[in-house]
């Protein structure tokens, strides 16, 4: 609708023989206050100086010209020079029909993305333990964003990078070895840096059970390899299973280990040395990342000849470029932002355009339990896992809560609140609206109010402000999805759904939908409810949350 109004204004300016600015410069927005109409434009305020007219005169001229358009019931000029548009009821009614005709497709705009290829990498947790709450936030966010981009016609691949190589994995293997020995009652020393926690013991116990007889017959090296393979297998599978419980499904699982085995690391090193942007110092090899926006140069190969994690990471990102994506989105945890300049520098040194890359940083998550912050530490093994969270509050509530805040602000996750089944809990509030409408439909059937008898002209019986306001709100939904696809503010969708559910609950309270004595009115209201339900369902689906018909 916004685009349509922009077009109308542009045509209006032409008709008034004024030099019209490009359509992208014409601003149309939702006014804060209802008296200012459904849409408003500040075009004459912006244009006034250029054409040497007062904003008000121009606004009045445009308003008069545009009021003839059947799209609007009224177009007015207001105080400093705003133009306020009131959408004609007829248009509202036809919007309602569109929504119900389109159903699942309402809010989808395949043209916008035009098949452009986007890669979204998210979660990518180290396979050194179960998924934590920040991973969970990333999972919910990345998955929902992917849904939204797909709904806008982008081709999206969801990708998970498994850091199954490097120092952290060595540490993990050591920790498990140690634990195995302990279970075998062999004297062990406490590891200074090792991983702790119940899951380490469980993995060790599992290995002992399945491989116990043979593992001690292997050479130390082979035993370590065996332990590595087994533990990674267990941990990665656990992550996959947890994610699928969370309704997150990845298209690609990329293993760092495999990348390394294919020689990507050597390739990158070779390319880098050709660029002369690396040098030796203190026995290590450094990359001139400071020339490319990083705050200092970085070590890429340690003095012991092993590479730092940057190199395989650059290698990995090069594969993203080689796979021909138009946009590469990385969703990262709060502790990774120092990582971005290094990675960008490396990519740029190798001659790729970093403009294709976008980074979304998620801030940390604090778990509140009985109004107290739960302290967590991965190394100590004290943490709330995604699995526990799902068991506590369920996938729907967890996903919704993670998506309520803007990605770059910290999030407090109140477990008690997420478990509540009342209006305090926004997930239930929204789902309840959906279920309520389903219930109304059941009632209608039992009252023999049949949807087949509906006729478009009945919609004229929707005359109350509440009814028209709801339609106006439904009309904004497609624009909202488009907006989110460019800002990545998924939280706007959760707030929209809360608002819409609120409007509906109020309406429900005030007016009776089904009334045997007024069949036409009942059918019209039922039609409105159906549209509300459609939008709530479509919105929840994008968020990966179920829309129950009974609660």
Partner RNA sequence: GCGCCAGUAGCUCAGCAGGAUAGAGCAACAGCCUUCUAAGCUGUGGGUCAGAGGUUCGAAUCCUCUCUGGCGUGCCA
SS3 category, 411: strand
- Rounded to whole angstroms, the Cα distance separating 458 from 98 reads 15
Binders of RNA among 464-493, rule CB under 7 A?
479, 483, 489, 491-492
**377 touching RNA, by CB under 7 A:** no
Q: Which of 138, 513, 536, 543 binds RNA (CB under 7 A)?
A: 513
**527 touching RNA, by CB under 7 A:** no
Contacts of 25 (CB under 8 A, 6+ apart): 46
Q: Which of 461, 505, 519, 541 binds RNA (CB under 7 A)?
A: 505
**422 touching RNA, by CB under 7 A:** yes
Report, in Å, the least distance between residue 418 CB and RNA: 12
**495 touching RNA, by CB under 7 A:** yes
**455 touching RNA, by CB under 7 A:** no
Binders of RNA among 28-47, rule CB under 7 A?
29, 31-33, 35-37, 40, 42, 45-46
For RNA, give the closer residue by CB, 24 or 452.
Answer: 24
For RNA, give the closer residue by CB, 150 or 265.
Answer: 265
Contacts of 244 (CB under 8 A, 6+ apart): none
Provide the 10 A C-beta neighbour count for residue 124.
Answer: 24
For RNA, give the closer residue by CB, 215 or 265.
Answer: 265
Instruction: Show the DSSP H helices in 253-295 as ranges.
Output: 256-261, 264-275
The angle at the Cα of 512, spanning 509 to 513, to the nearest 5 degrees, equals: 115
The angle at the Cα of 536, spanning 366 to 156, to the nearest 5 degrees, equals: 70
Report, in Å, the least distance between residue 479 CB and RNA: 7
- Rounded to whole angstroms, the Cα distance separating 528 from 514 reads 12
SS3 sequence, 94-158? HHHHHHHHHHHHCCCCHHHHCCCEEEEECCCCCCCCCCEHHHHHHHHHHHHHHHHHHHCCCEEEE
Backbone torsions φ then ψ of 372, nearest 5 degrees: -120, 145
Q: Which of 112, 240, 327, 336 binds RNA (CB under 7 A)?
A: 336
Q: Looking at the DSSP assignment, which residues form a beta bridge with residue 74?
A: 86
Residue pair 27/42 in contact by the 8 Å Cβ criterion:
yes
**372 touching RNA, by CB under 7 A:** no
**439 touching RNA, by CB under 7 A:** yes
**304 touching RNA, by CB under 7 A:** yes
Q: Which of 10, 155, 321, 429 binds RNA (CB under 7 A)?
A: 429
**144 touching RNA, by CB under 7 A:** no
DSSP calls for 422-479: STTSHHHHHHHHHHHHHHHHHHHHHTT--GGG--GGGGGG--SHHHHHHHHHHHHHHH
Q: Which of 339, 378, 461, 519 binds RNA (CB under 7 A)?
A: 339
Q: Which of 435, 493, 500, 535 binds RNA (CB under 7 A)?
A: 435
Q: Which of 50, 90, 105, 364 binds RNA (CB under 7 A)?
A: 364
Residue pair 398/367 in contact by the 8 Å Cβ criterion:
no
**79 touching RNA, by CB under 7 A:** yes
Report, in Å, the least distance between residue 458 CB and RNA: 16
Count of chain residues binding RNA (CB under 7 A): 88
- Rounded to whole angstroms, the Cα distance separating 90 from 92 reads 5
Contacts of 388 (CB under 8 A, 6+ apart): none
Report, in Å, the least distance between residue 24 CB and RNA: 9
CA dist list (Å): 291 to 185, 314, 353, 355: 54, 17, 15, 17
CA proximity to 181, closest of 169, 189, 171, 192:
189
**370 touching RNA, by CB under 7 A:** no
Instruction: Show the DSSP H helices in 197-219 as ranges.
Output: 198-215
Binders of RNA among 180-209, rule CB under 7 A?
none
For RNA, give the closer residue by CB, 255 or 491.
Answer: 491
Task: Give the pairing type, strands 117-121 and 82-87.
Answer: unpaired
Which segments of 224-310 are extended strands (E)? 252-255, 278-281, 284-287, 298-301
**512 touching RNA, by CB under 7 A:** yes
Report, in Å, the least distance between residue 324 CB and RNA: 26
Question: Looking at 15-23, 62-70, 387-395, 511-519, which segment touches RNA (CB under 7 A)?
Answer: 511-519
Binders of RNA among 254-293, rule CB under 7 A?
256, 281-284
Question: Looking at 101-109, 134-142, 498-506, 538-546, which segment touches RNA (CB under 7 A)?
Answer: 498-506
**337 touching RNA, by CB under 7 A:** yes
Question: Looking at 178-186, 226-234, 467-475, 501-509, which segment touches RNA (CB under 7 A)?
Answer: 501-509
Q: Which of 14, 105, 296, 419 binds RNA (CB under 7 A)?
A: 296
């Amino acid at each position: 609708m916004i685009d349509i109004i922009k077009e109308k204004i542009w045509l209006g300016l032409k008709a008034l023989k004024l030099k019209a600015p490009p359509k992208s410069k014409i601003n149309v927005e939702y006014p804060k206050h209802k008296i200012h109409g459904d849409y408003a434009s500040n075009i004459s305020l912006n244009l006034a100086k250029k054409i040497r007219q007062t904003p008000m005169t121009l606004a009045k001229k445009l308003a008069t010209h545009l009021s003839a358009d059947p799209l609007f019931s009224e177009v007015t000029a207001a105080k400093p020079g705003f133009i306020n548009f009131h959408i004609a009821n007829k248009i509202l009614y036809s919007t309602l029909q569109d929504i119900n005709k389109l159903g699942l497709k309402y809010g989808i705009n395949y043209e916008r993305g035009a098949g452009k290829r986007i890669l979204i990498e998210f979660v990518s947790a180290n396979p050194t333990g179960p998924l934590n709450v920040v991973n969970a936030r990333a999972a919910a966010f990345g998955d929902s964003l992917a849904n939204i981009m797909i709904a806008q016609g982008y081709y999206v691949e969801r990708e998970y990078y498994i850091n199954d190589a490097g120092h952290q994995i060595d540490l993990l293997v050591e920790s498990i070895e140690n634990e195995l020995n302990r279970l075998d009652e062999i004297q062990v020393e406490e590891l200074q840096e090792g991983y702790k926690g119940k899951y380490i013991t469980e993995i060790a116990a599992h290995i002992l059970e399945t491989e116990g007889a043979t593992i001690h017959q292997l050479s130390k090296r082979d035993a370590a390899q065996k332990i590595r393979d087994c533990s990674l297998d267990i941990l990665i599978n656990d992550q996959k299973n947890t994610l699928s419980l969370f309704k997150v499904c990845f298209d690609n699982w990329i293993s760092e280990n495999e990348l390394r085995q294919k020689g990507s690391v050597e390739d990158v090193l070779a390319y880098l040395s050709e660029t002369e942007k690396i040098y030796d110092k203190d026995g290590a090899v450094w990359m001139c990342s400071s020339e490319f926006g990083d705050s200092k140069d970085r070590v890429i190969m340690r003095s012991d000849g092993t590479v730092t994690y940057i190199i395989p990471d650059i290698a990995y990102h090069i594969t993203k470029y080689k796979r021909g994506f138009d946009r590469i989105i990385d969703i990262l945890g709060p502790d990774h932002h120092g990582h971005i300049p290094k990675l960008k520098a490396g990519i740029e040194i190798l001659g790729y355009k970093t403009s294709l890359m976008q980074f979304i940083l998620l801030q940390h998550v604090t778990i509140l339990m009985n109004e107290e912050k739960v302290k967590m530490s991965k190394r100590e093994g004290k943490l709330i896992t995604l699995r526990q969270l799902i068991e506590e509050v369920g996938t729907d509530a967890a996903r919704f809560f993670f998506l309520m805040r803007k990605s770059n602000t910290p999030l407090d996750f109140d477990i008690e609140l997420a478990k509540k089944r009342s209006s305090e809990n926004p997930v239930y509030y929204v789902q309840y609206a959906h279920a309520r409408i389903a219930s109304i439909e059941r009632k209608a059937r039992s009252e023999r109010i049949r949807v087949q008898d509906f006729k478009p002209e009945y919609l004229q019986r929707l005359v109350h402000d509440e009814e028209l306001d709801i339609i106006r709100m439904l009309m904004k939904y497609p624009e909202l999805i488009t907006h989110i696809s460019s800002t990545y503010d998924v939280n706007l969708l959760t707030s929209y759904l809360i608002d819409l559910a609120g409007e509906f609950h109020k309406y429900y309270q005030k007016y009776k939908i089904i009334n045997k004595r007024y069949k036409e009115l009942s059918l019209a209201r039922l039609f409105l409810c159906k549209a509300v339900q459609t939008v709530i369902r479509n919105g929840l689906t994008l968020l990966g949350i179920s829309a129950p018909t009974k609660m």
